[in-house]
Structure 1
Amino acid sequence: MAVESPARIVIVGAGSIGIEAALYARFLGYKVTVLDSGDVGAHLRKWGHVRMFTPFRDNCTKLGKSALAAQHQDLSLPLGDQYVTAGQYLEQYLQPLAESDLVADCVKRHHTVLSIARSSQTKTENYGQPARSETPLVTLAKDEQGHEYVFESDIVLDCSGVGAQPNFIGGGGSPAVGELAARPYLETGLIDAKGKDAKHYANQQILVIGAGHSAATNICQLSLLARETLETHVTWVTREGKADGQCGPVAVIEDDVLPQRKRMAVEANRLLVDENGHLDHWPETTVKSIHYEPQNNHFHVTLDGKHSGVHTFDRVVANVGYRPNLEMLHELQLDLCPNTEGTKSLIQPEPNFYILGSKSYGRDSSYLHGNGLDQIRRVFAIIGGRESLDLYAEPPSSSNQA
């Protein structure tokens, strides 16, 4: 529903979508507070060495570039068709944007959001009724020292992503026996095997779980390391066998619009044929239980299926996807997809509450940054009550002007 500026907006998450949304809101005159449990672009920092699947032009906005040009006349941005790493994107675009005049004073780092609710209405009250929007939204957050704060607002944009909440490794998606205790010692991100993570993985027995693009990226990284540290061995476990028409488990989209993604998938599958004993693929296999022994820093993993048995590994990399954190939204009225836990539409039953970015897709890994930018444009058209509002649009050429 339309809310005129200067209304108050709380944005959860200081990643790329949260920062872009903050800039958009401030440009329109809204009062903005951005809350993040870490620092700006915290998730991007974890895979800063990895080249993004989409070119820079798909990960920036006209509004963002204009804001940077106004403040940093000497700032050199990547070319539009350049495929930058996540670290380059953070350093050259997102971090400067977060430090720009319109955004810098909005961001509260190291504020973990605990709950978002109505100030005086529970989840069960006034469903679908205008009265639901008569009380403000309240966001409860905790800082690094454990102090709690309440932020009252007219609108909340949840841009918190899914990167902080990995899925479980058990065969049916529930925790494997012992996983909750072992979870702090599992790796869930993307490995920099030729850089900062080299010593951690060199000459180790490594278990990689999963058949998506994160797993494929890590298989390629670890293969590079194994060629230089000959005691490195990788066991790749997947629930399914080979993907259709492939020599490995990663599905390849033949007409993929993202060539970087296709190359990664093809390369990971190919390595199973060419890897000379450093890589084994165990298909149709799941994790039944896992036990971590801190005294010797290794894992005992019980596998079920085609390669059942108990095995010992030095490192376990769980690339089984992510799920949205819905705990903080329990008192809000939401309409979520039953299988992905993502949103069914941009507009939720809860008035003036919106989920943007990868969290809106839930467990669906097909999200691209451009989807989130389009959501920003659409949600502010709704908030502003102007269907044609689009701060990302290119100005009309002189030939089209009267």
Structure 2
Amino acid sequence: MTLLTLTPRTAVSDRLTTLPVVVIGAGPVGLAAAAHLVERGIDVFVVEAGERPAASVRLWGHTRLFSPWRYLIDPAARRLLEASGWTEPDPETMPTGAELVADYLEPLAALPEIGSRIRYGTRVVAVAREGMDRTRSAGREQTPFLLRLDTVDNAVSEITARAVIDASGTYTTPNPLASSGWEPSGAGVVQDRITHALPDVNGLERSRFAGRHTTVVGAGHSAANTLIALAELAEHEPDTRVTWLIRNPTAVRVSSSPDDDLPARAGLGARIDQLVASGAITKVDAFEIGAVEALTDGVRLIGMRRGEPAAHDTDLVVSATGFRPDLGMLREIRLDLDAIVEAPRRLAPLIDPNVHSCGTVEPHGFEELRHPEPGFFVVGMKSYGRAPTFLLATGYEQVRSVVAWLDGDMRAATAVQLELPATGVCSTGDASGSCCS
């Protein structure tokens, strides 16, 4: 690999004001951060691992969101897009992930003032202060951030920044199947029989699931979407069987309230209840996975059920066990994370999944997202750590407040307001699954 330093090392000075704010990730929240920075005239540089914007959203693009458009468009992004002649979709319709990309995120990323500042096919592999590891304190706040980048052709470079906004998300770092939080014993030999959350069951991956027995592991909305898709497939493909395996005795998060402000979210739980009652889905509850074992043409899940050894045989497993943040690239950044959910310590009590649902999270901004590293923020899904209650509207308000703080506009930064759709779900001790926007 070749090491190319894009910015020469210099003494600490007012140089910080000449450097851009680097945003990690060109997904919905990362692009919203870029829009707010552009509106305030702050130089921004966006680093995106994918070859196009919203790489993670594209992976579940076949899935329909349960939030309508009015909750999915950032206000600053809307203003920039409307100035370019863009027409907003019907605010009351619910797009698929693919439509969210095509009708909103791609046009946003294509705006000259944003698109010219995005580097695709580039992954941030490490973040630090220039010339400092995390143990050095003197002059830290006045020292630029240093980000090491790795491209698809393994070319390594380094860039500097006045501030860093990490909006890299968590979709590519799922929780393991084992109830311990580890990869289950034996996982290495059955990886071809275990798939990520939200596979395209009735589309590109139909042949993989048709006529086979699939077990979906997880108790959140990602699991519910996949279970419904598999039940639909079973109506047309003989011998297709569906099992739902959960860790707890009940799946409160998928359950629904008739007062839910998002009818589509309420409908997920109602539909799952109907399919279980009809026998279209076999539910296995209170099953804690510890190991997996390869069968001739399938996989055996091995663990405990209600205190007794248990095993479950299936052809395929969909791991919908939720997500966790990748903190590896931040080892030299001073973070203050909650010991349980790995969210910023001030934010964690507001999003504890044992207490809060998607619609009961209080408004929060830069203050709750701050770390001991001045000028560094984790936003969006990654800011929630392992909590499954994130909605896009929350991320948009986060970056609005953070960018106002970076601009020195304390009045705007502290005026945090957030209107979320109310719900009666997501309150359970099982942190698997997610509240998808």
The two structures have a TM-score, normalised by structure 1, of 0.88
Is 1:24 the equivalent of 2:28? no
Report how far residue 183 of structure 1 moved.
4.3
Residue number among 223, 230, 255 corresponding to 1:222 in the alignment: 230
Question: Which secondary structure does the structure 1 equivalent of 2:123 belong to?
Answer: strand
Match of 2:73 in 1: 60
Residue number among 37, 40, 54 corresponding to 1:41 in the alignment: 54
- Change in 2 beyond 3 A, CA 1:133/1:5: closer
Report how far residue 387 of structure 1 moved.
2.3
Where do 1:256-271 residues align within 5 Å? 256-271=260-275
Q: Equivalents in 2 of 1:65, 1:6: separation in Å?
A: 28
Q: Equivalents in 1 of 2:300, 2:167: separation in Å?
A: 37
Is 1:125 the equivalent of 2:125? no
8 A contact 2:193–2:315 mirrored in 1: no
CA deviation string 1:240-291 (max 9, x = no partner): 12346xxxx833345333322121022112211113xx42111111222123
Where do 1:227-266 residues align within 5 Å? 227-243=235-251, 250-266=254-270
8 A contact 1:98–1:104 mirrored in 2: yes
Off by >6 Å, runs of 4+ in structure 1: none
**Worse-matched range after superposition: 132-141 or 317-326:** 132-141
Report how far residue 319 of structure 1 moved.
0.5
Q: Which amino acid aligns with 1:125?
A: R
Match of 1:316 in 2: 317
Q: Which amino acid aligns with 2:117?
A: C
Q: Equivalents in 2 of 1:193, 1:123: separation in Å?
A: 45
Match of 2:300 in 1: 300
- Change in 2 beyond 3 A, CA 1:118/1:292: farther
Is 1:164 the equivalent of 2:172? yes
Unpaired runs of 5+ residues, structure 1, are: 394-402
Question: Which secondary structure does the structure 2 equivalent of 1:388 belong to?
Answer: helix
Where do 1:80-95 residues align within 5 Å? 80-95=91-106
Is 1:139 the equivalent of 2:151? no
Q: Which amino acid aligns with 2:372?
A: P
Match of 2:287 in 1: 285
- Change in 2 beyond 3 A, CA 1:32/1:181: farther
Q: Equivalents in 2 of 1:181, 1:340: separation in Å?
A: 30
8 A contact 1:5–1:28 mirrored in 2: no
Q: Equivalents in 2 of 1:40, 1:374: separation in Å?
A: 20
Report how far residue 66 of structure 1 moved.
2.8
8 A contact 2:17–2:162 mirrored in 1: no
Where do 1:338-353 residues align within 5 Å? 338-344=339-345, 345-353=368-376
Q: Equivalents in 2 of 1:105, 1:180: separation in Å?
A: 42
Q: Equivalents in 2 of 1:58, 1:234: separation in Å?
A: 33
- Change in 2 beyond 3 A, CA 1:37/1:183: farther
Q: Equivalents in 2 of 1:22, 1:94: separation in Å?
A: 12
Report how far residue 106 of structure 1 moved.
1.1
Q: Equivalents in 2 of 1:153, 1:217: separation in Å?
A: 40
Q: Equivalents in 2 of 1:369, 1:242: separation in Å?
A: 27
Match of 2:20 in 1: 8
Match of 2:365 in 1: none
CA deviation string 1:283-342 (max 9, x = no partner): 11122212357xx66323324215854444221101100000011111111111111101
Match of 1:379 in 2: 402
- How many correspondences in the alignment? 378
Q: Which amino acid aligns with 1:113?
A: V
Work out the percentage of aligned pairs sharing the same amino acid. 28
Q: Which amino acid aligns with 1:100?
A: L
Report how far residue 349 of structure 1 moved.
0.7
CA deviation string 1:113-149 (max 9, x = no partner): 11111112221222xx7x2212110111110011111
Cα RMSD, aligned residues only: 2.4
Report how far residue 63 of structure 1 moved.
2.5
CA deviation string 1:353-381 (max 9, x = no partner): 01110111111111111111101111112
8 A contact 1:193–1:224 mirrored in 2: no
Residue number among 108, 113, 131 corresponding to 2:124 in the alignment: 113
Q: Equivalents in 2 of 1:186, 1:243: separation in Å?
A: 22
Q: Equivalents in 2 of 1:7, 1:29: separation in Å?
A: 13
8 A contact 1:137–1:154 mirrored in 2: yes
- Change in 2 beyond 3 A, CA 1:31/1:183: farther
Is 1:96 the equivalent of 2:100? no
Q: Which amino acid aligns with 1:373?
A: Y
Q: Which amino acid aligns with 1:205?
A: H
Q: Which amino acid aligns with 1:212?
A: G
Q: Which amino acid aligns with 1:135?
A: T
- Change in 2 beyond 3 A, CA 1:4/1:117: closer
Report how far residue 68 of structure 1 moved.
2.2
Q: Equivalents in 1 of 2:93, 2:169: separation in Å?
A: 25
